[in-house]
Amino acid sequence: MALKYKRVLLKLSGEALAGDRKAGIDTEVLNEVAEKIRQAYEMGAEIAIVVGGGNFWRGRSGVGMDRTTADHMGMLATVINALALQDALESKGVPTRVQTAIEMRQIAEPYIRRKAVRHLEKKRIVIFACGTGNPYFSTDTTAALRAAEIDADVILKATMVDGVYDSDPKVNPNAVRFESISFAEALNLRLGVMDSTAISLCMDNKLPLIVFDLSDPENILRVMKGEKIGTTLY
């Protein structure tokens, strides 16, 4: 089955890479995810990835700390995940580049849009780290921004839940999952899919978003082939 999307922006949360450990990196999960990304790559997809850092640090978890400092620490956490994912992909023979929004030339390239697009055209995977490089902006907002910049067909948001629900399925057993929903509705219902800045960016740039469950890494391939899984926001 051919791929439905040619150029995608895959948003991976830090927690997804932690697996059952909830913190740090579970190398088994990391390798499973890298393997599915490799399979999609071999099918001809151009893949850019934005990684979160929640398995190490979240800006909002720095209680009593200056918010800007806490966010900068979160940005550095994303670099650890980006390098780990790069290593996992390259060990499988997939050429990968890490670009950071905060310069650290010894370990990664600085983010340059034209260079990122060129990497994709040359069939390399690009991982964007450090968020937008600015405090107060989430990695979801980064995903929306970078997807618009590289002209991606879709944003694939890999989470620990199998889509978007009308209420928290962990709290409410009767929560109903949406197959598709508009960005405007998601904002009005305060569904918490992404923060409002990220949703507004997607809406303004007509960037579709698919939220799906990463607990089965096979879903990465399924969603790229256009199978109906998770929730589509349009």
- The CATH code of domain 7-233 reads 3.40.1160.10
**Beta carbons of 207 and 198 less than 8 angstroms apart:** no
What pLDDT digit, counting tens, does each position of 48-95 carry?
999 999 999 987 777 889 999 999 999 999 999 999 999 999 999 999
Q: What is the pLDDT of residue 60?
A: 73
The alpha-helical segments, DSSP class H, found in 43-165 are: 67-90, 113-121, 139-149
What pLDDT digit, counting tens, does each position of 11-61 carry?
999 998 998 888 999 999 999 999 999 999 999 999 999 999 999 998 777
Q: What is the pLDDT of residue 2?
A: 85
